Structure 1
């Protein structure tokens, strides 16, 4: 009965391994996982697919042991969380301050369609099928590939589309606004 009410406060709050080792482990694992995820293709085009979710869960499980070396105290967990938050903030801050570094953090837009023609080598690089591309174009109200002036895969995996009539329609909108403003 005494075991139910006994609390080992030292085991809860006192780290069982060096704090510096925790920070180094957390840093190395975070930067390694960041690098791996940065180099993987954006296969799901702006959505979280089942394989992406599986990768995240498996990474989390694998990283937990690599980072913590089987930590047991709350303090160790807090240090690891703080280390991951630190690196996330630092990388975002560096990307904000240094445009060259931002290009490393987020890939530049990748041209997928130019003047109604698919750039197949770019689709292959990102492992996107023509059917998937056409599905994304239809979701943006583009019926025919020939209507697409430019289509880019953005850094987040989404597709942005500029249609052939987008310039003329925006000019027409400006002209109609100007005419309606006249007395």
Structure 2
């Protein structure tokens, strides 16, 4: 049985055939699905820098398992460790407040306050008035900055806008 598995997945061989890489891809797909389920829905559900970095590194690690550039089982184990690290850090950030959570997940930045642009914030985050106007047109029927009560650059990179009442 072990010999068949090793032969099918090309374990211990120098060169992988197209069908061994294909079987590895199928195996890695289901292993990745299981590993992500061990994490939680947040792992790839939001696009904070914290989550994006996990996605990039996770994909890079798993690609090595498919192409045979790294040993199969240790590579899958390292992917699992990475997802568990993400989950652990997210849990710590949830239970603590302050700089650690802000470092991991970022902080929202106020771009408009009472209808007035916060030029320092726009400049610091390389946002133009045109970027803000685009978000306003997307979220409002009245694309005028004076109608904005407040606008934030959120942790996931989106701009949220609250329109003045009345």
My pick for the range that moved more, 75-84 or 97-106, is 97-106
Post-superposition offset of 1:58:
9.3
- TM score, norm. by length of structure 1: 0.53
Post-superposition offset of 1:12:
2.8
Post-superposition offset of 1:64:
7.2
Distance 1:6-1:148 versus aligned 2 partners, 3 A rule: closer
Greater relative CO, 1 or 2 (CA 8 Å, sep 6+): 1
Tell me which of 51, 71, 84 is aligned to 1:86. Answer: 84
Aligned equivalents of 2:57, 2:96: Cα separation in 1: 32
Aligned equivalents of 2:138, 2:75: Cα separation in 1: 43
- 1:136 aligned residue: 135
Question: Is the aligned partner of 1:106 residue 2:105?
Answer: yes
Count of matched residue pairs: 120
Distance 1:122-1:72 versus aligned 2 partners, 3 A rule: same
- For structure 2, the 5+ residue unaligned runs are 13-47
Distance 1:78-1:59 versus aligned 2 partners, 3 A rule: closer
Aligned equivalents of 1:98, 1:58: Cα separation in 2: 25
SS at match of 2:70: coil
- For structure 1, the 5+ residue unaligned runs are 14-36, 40-51, 170-183
Distance 1:91-1:152 versus aligned 2 partners, 3 A rule: same
Structure 1 segment 113-128 matched on structure 2, within 5 A:
113-128=112-127
Distance 1:163-1:76 versus aligned 2 partners, 3 A rule: same
User: C-alpha root-mean-square deviation of aligned residues, in Å?
Assistant: 3.6
- 2:11 aligned residue: 12
Distance 1:133-1:64 versus aligned 2 partners, 3 A rule: same
Indicate the structure (1 or 2) with the bigger Cα radius of gyration: 1
Post-superposition offset of 1:135:
0.6
Distance 1:82-1:61 versus aligned 2 partners, 3 A rule: closer
CA displacement 1:121-154 (0-9 Å, x = unmatched): 2112222221111010111113211111211111
Segments of 4+ moved more than 4 angstroms: 5-9, 56-65
